[in-house]
Amino acid sequence: MNRKYNLHLMLPLALFLMAADQLTKWIIVKTMNIGDSVSVIGDILEITSHRNYGAAWGMLQNQMVFFYIITLVVLMAIIYFYRTEAPFKPVMQLGLTLIFAGAVGNFIDRLFRGNVVDFIDTKIINYDFPIFNVADACLTLGVIVLIYEILMNDSKEKKHANI
């Protein structure tokens, strides 16, 4: 049975992810000084206490009012698209839920801390990836899920149009 909206799954998932994001950030703030690092898997994965006063990769440093406004607009857009584009599309609902949870997680940091707590530090094939957090991971996965959904639906619609 395909439900119009899967809020019974998506709402608990969003709440869990937001709680996990805030809990992990709280642990980092309470147990580590900024710049402290603990190896988890050699130099491939480390927990490094870092603060970001901007957006991804440190862009737009100290533009908090801008981030407040943009985040609220994005959250309203996610709710709008959930209601208008995602009915009967559980994969799209998942992508939007992940993005919503990630946006709220980082918004809470900016609102109450004035910065975003980042701590997941990875080095893959000698590339030192920017330090990130659970909310950032949710945002990234959400975008990947939405791209997949859009590409798969577009492919299905083209296939049905040719029949």
Catalytic residue positions?
118, 136
Q: Which two tokens stand for residue 158?
A: 């083209």
Nearest CA to 53 out of 110, 134, 102, 133 is that of 110
d(CA 129, CA 124): 7
70, 107 contact by CB (below 8 A): no
What amino acid is encoded at 64 in this protein? M
